[in-house]
Amino acid sequence: MQSHQIKSFEEYQNACQRSVSDPEGFWSDIASTFTWRKKWNTTLEWNFEEPNVKWFKGGKLNITENCLDRHLKTRGNKLALIWEPNDPKERFVRYTYRELYEKVCQFANVLKKNGVQKGDRVCIYMPMIPELAFAVLACARIGAVHSVIFAGFSAVSMSDRINDAGAKMVLTSDGLNRGAKQIPVKRVVDEALESCPSVEKVIVVERLGWAVNMVEGRDVWFHDEVKDVAKDCPAEEMDAEDMLFILYTSGSTGKPKGVVHTCGGYMVYAQYSFMNVFQYQESDVFWCTADIGWVTGHTYLLYGPLLSGATTLMFEGVPTYPDNGRFWQVCDKFGVNIFYTAPTAIRSLMGGDIDDVLSYSLDSLKVLGSVGEPINEEAWHWYHTHVGKERCPVVDTWWQTETGGIMISSLANVTPTKPAHAAFPLPGIQPILVDAEGNEITDNEVEGYLCVKFPWPGMIRTTYGDHERCRLSYFSTYKGLYFTGDGAKRDENGWYRIIGRVDDVINVSGHRFGTAEIEEAINHNEHVVESAVVGFPHDVKGQGIYAFVICKDKPEREDYLRAEIIETVVEKIGKIAKPDKIQIVSGLPKTRSGKIMRRILRKVAEGDTSNLGDTSTLLDPDVVDEIKAGAL
């Protein structure tokens, strides 16, 4: 199974070459290492115009047979999942592959008993407890499409996503622990479901032991349902191109879109990228700190490691609870070998006492990873020096919800690393840089828009319920190319450095928000006439949210109004999208055609008003002076 793990730079170069000269042979060889009920007829069918991308057409499989069943003979007693609770005093739990198999089958039987069938969409809104992992895999086992919603999103966000997917069931818990706080999750679900007619059943897992409202005929407790179900559940046979999951993500326009991934291609890409980027070895303990509510949790906490027969660690809590040493304490406790986190977490810990990291040995660590946003050099060096003790390569992994898995990254100890550079594409990935007209820039020492010119198995297939949106968002900007929405540089040696989004998407602590989405939320506040949101550099979050807001009347107390606006955003989207700064303005810099000149607002938000460029085309140039004077 590990035969496609690249071991040297030469092998990497050879793999890259073959993946271009014979992509079908290349991916077909990798796919052959999995368990298929029936082999595919066609390896790849594609065009980026519609787009229509099909990998391993005609192949039949179930991803959970590859995550679980096929390991039982050789790895039945190997640890599959280690769960570390929020409170370090609470006992951790470990599951072998055999135990995980049984837990998933039981959960799958509970789903079936409650009416879920192949193709149904199931929404999962749960804390980071083992049942979340079981639930996701249980859906995949019976061919239901999971749509995990990060449990920090608000009721409104949840109901939007449930309605878009037409979900039949919601899986949730009574509440959740996050550091010192406890959050009433079920109450949020109840509120969301007031406007979700498609949901027939809610299954509630007990985490806090709270008394919660249970709606007769709709809500059931998981612990009641699981009592008498079997520990075996046959895996549903799926087509390679059947939907595996939907994951909602923000774009530059409208509401979040449901990115669709399919069974066969996603499986192959999740495992291949996991084994190669992290260079997982059979006895390693792998820890990805991301929540399963995001794509990183899907691919590198669950599917990638389990497909590889790895031991994966799942953590319920936050890096700062009970203190700033928690990550490192957990690494020492379980002898974590590969640690994968986000720059924002590193930056939040860098500000603390250095003894919080130096008091742990961290001897077991071999490889460090970074994901979600550009890692600045200062954070890279801190991570490399104090966590990795200058002995562990840091793989800076660039990818997206839409790509399914890591696209550009060093392969640990195989290809070189360079601070703040994602470096090289994985074999099979063909990134290019283009100029504004879409012409490929072939030189080095250049900057451009990052596109991909050839399909890869883990790529997005559609946006749920609206294929045209998928085409418009990713395949229409540059003809014949997948456009990432990111800008990137390629240095003199061909190393990629991702700069960040070039569209109206802000990346806050590694999470994406469309500026339009936040503006829409702000505009719901009764005092607000109009708003414009831009990102600004933030020491910990990478980007912060800066909102310029026009109000109906001049508020008596601006601080009250700001608090109210924040409340509105929390209600519409969730705490994670709270604006950091709100400037009340009397107008926005608009062109005569009514377009907001965000370039000016970005400059003001960055605190750089020295050169705002040409403002003569503005409808009301004076407004710029007022905005400059009132900048926060």
CB nearer to ligand PRX: give 120 or 503. 503
- List the structure tokens of 419: 């601070």
* Opening angle at CA 353, ends 352 and 358, nearest 5: 120
Question: For residues 239 and 402, which CB has a smaller minimum distance to ligand PRX in the complex?
Answer: 402
> How far does the chain reach from its first CA to its final CA, in angstroms?
56
- Give min distance, CB of 398 to ligand PRX, in A: 4
431 scored as a contact of ligand PRX (CB under 6 A): no
By CB under 6 A, residue 484 contacts ligand PRX: yes
Angstrom CA distances, 595 to 48, 599, 601, stand at: 31, 11, 12
Given a contact cutoff of 8 angstroms between Cβ atoms, the answer to whether 372 and 350 are in contact is: no
Name which of 344, 331, 314 is nearest 392 in CA terms: 331
Q: Does 161 bind ligand PRX (CB under 6 A)?
A: no
Q: Report the nearest approach of ligand PRX to the CB of residue 402 (Å).
A: 7
Q: How far is the CB of 611 from ligand PRX (least distance, A)?
A: 26
Q: Which stretch binds ligand PRX (CB under 6 A): 87-95, 311-319, 394-402, 622-630?
A: 394-402
Judged by CB under 6 A, does residue 474 bind ligand PRX? no
Euclidean distance between CA atoms 377 and 382, whole angstroms: 9
Kindly tell me the burial class for residue 223, based on how many C-beta atoms sit within 10 Å of its own C-beta (0-12, 13-18, 19 or more).
exposed
Stretch that binds ligand PRX, among 84-92, 330-338, 366-374, 424-432 (CB under 6 A): 366-374
How far apart, in whole angstroms, are the C-alpha atoms of residue 343 and residue 387?
Answer: 13
Nearer CB in complex with ligand PRX: 279/484: 484
| Pairing of the two strands 446-452 and 482-490 | antiparallel
**Closer residue to ligand PRX in complex, CB, 249/531:** 249
**DSSP annotation of 144:** P
Instruction: Give me the helix-helix angle, 622-629 and 598-606, nearest 10°.
Output: 20
Q: Based on CB atoms, which residue is closest to ligand PRX, 34 or 513?
A: 513
| Nearest CA-CA partner of 576 in 505, 503, 501, 508 | 508
Complex with ligand PRX: residue 203 or 423, whichever CB lies closer: 423
> Which one, 244 or 422, has the nearer CB to ligand PRX?
422
What is the contact mask toward ligand PRX in residues 317 to 356, using x (rule: CB under 6 A)?
Answer: ----------------------------------------
Which positions from 163 through 222 interact with ligand PRX, judged by CB under 6 A?
Answer: none
To the nearest 5 percent, what fractions of the chain are helix, strand and coil?
A: 30, 25, 40
CA 404 to chain centre: 9
CA–CA distance from 575 to each of 129, 151, 333, 401 (Å)?
21, 11, 31, 21
Identify the residue among 498, 547, 601, 604 touching ligand PRX (CB under 6 A): 498
**Residue from 120, 396, 517, 519 that binds ligand PRX (CB under 6 A)?**
396
Least distance to ligand PRX from the beta carbon of 549, Å? Answer: 26
Q: Which is nearer to ligand PRX, 69 or 606 (CB)?
A: 606
Q: Does 485 bind ligand PRX (CB under 6 A)?
A: yes
Contact yes or no for 233/196 (Cβ under 8 A): no
Q: Which stretch binds ligand PRX (CB under 6 A): 319-327, 333-341, 505-513, 586-594?
A: 505-513
If the CB atoms of residues 384 and 501 are measured against ligand PRX, the closer one turns out to be 501
Task: For the CB of residue 249, give the shortest distance to ligand PRX in the complex, in Å.
Answer: 5
Smallest gap, in angstroms, from Cβ of residue 415 to ligand PRX?
15
Q: Which one of 75, 512, 541, 572 is in contact with ligand PRX (CB under 6 A)?
A: 512
Minimum gap (Å) between residue 246 Cβ and ligand PRX: 14
Q: Which residue's Cβ has the minimum distance to ligand PRX?
A: 401
* Interface pattern 410-429 for ligand PRX (x via CB under 6 A): ------------x-------
Nearer to ligand PRX, 290 or 307 (CB): 290
Q: What are the Cα distances from residue 496, in Å, to 71, 419, 481, 519, 528? A: 37, 11, 18, 33, 42
Tell me, by CB under 6 A, how many residues bind ligand PRX: 23
Spatial contact of 147 and 245, defined as CB atoms under 8 Å apart:
yes
What is the x/- site pattern for ligand PRX, positions 228-267, by CB under 6 A? ---------------------x------------------
Give the nearest distance from C-beta 489 to ligand PRX in angstroms.
11
Q: Is 273 in the site for ligand PRX (CB under 6 A)?
A: no
- Say whether residue 400 binds ligand PRX (CB under 6 A): yes
User: Going along 345-393, which residue ranges are E strands?
Assistant: 367-371
Give, in order, the Cα–Cα distances in Å from 36 to each of 32, 60, 109, 565: 8, 6, 23, 52
Does 153 interact with ligand PRX (rule: CB under 6 A)? no
Query: Tokens for 268?
Result: 């192959």
Three-class DSSP category at 252: coil
Closest CA to 279 of 411, 369, 387: 411
Q: What is the rounded CA–CA span in Å between residue 123 and residue 147? A: 5
Closer residue to ligand PRX, CB minimum distance, 190 or 396: 396
Instruction: Please report, as residue ranges, which positions from 590 to 629 form the binding site for ligand PRX (by CB under 6 A).
Output: none
Pick the closer one to ligand PRX by CB: 235 or 295. 295
Stretch that binds ligand PRX, among 219-227, 361-369, 480-488, 524-532 (CB under 6 A): 480-488
Task: Choose one: 157-165, 494-502, 559-567, 616-624; the region binding ligand PRX (CB under 6 A).
Answer: 494-502
Q: Does 463 bind ligand PRX (CB under 6 A)?
A: no
User: 285: which DSSP letter?
Assistant: E
The reply to whether 295 sits near ligand PRX by the rule CB under 6 A is yes
Q: Binder to ligand PRX among 131, 164, 239, 373 (CB under 6 A)?
A: 373
Q: Within positions 21 to 60, which residues make up the interface with ligand PRX, using CB under 6 A?
A: none
Which residue, 130 or 251, has its beta carbon nearer to ligand PRX? 251
Residues making up the chain, counted from first to last: 632
How far from 67 is each of 37, 122, 211, 300, 459, CA to CA, in Å? 14, 20, 35, 13, 20
One-character DSSP codes across 537-606? EETTTEEEEEEEEEESS--S-HHHHHHHHHHHHHHHTBGGG--SEEEEES---BBTTS-B-HHHHHHHHH
Decide if residue 399 touches ligand PRX (CB under 6 A).
yes
What is the distance between the alpha carbons of residues 31 and 226, in angstroms, rounded to a whole number?
35
In the bound state with ligand PRX, the residue whose beta carbon lies nearer, of 249 and 279, is 249
Q: Is 397 in the site for ligand PRX (CB under 6 A)?
A: yes
CA–CA separation, 577 vs 163, rounded Å? 21
Q: What phi and psi values does residue 482 have, to the nearest 5 degrees? A: -90, 120
Which parts of this chain interact with ligand PRX (CB under 6 A)?
249, 295-296, 371-374, 396-401, 422, 484-486, 498, 500-501, 507, 510, 512
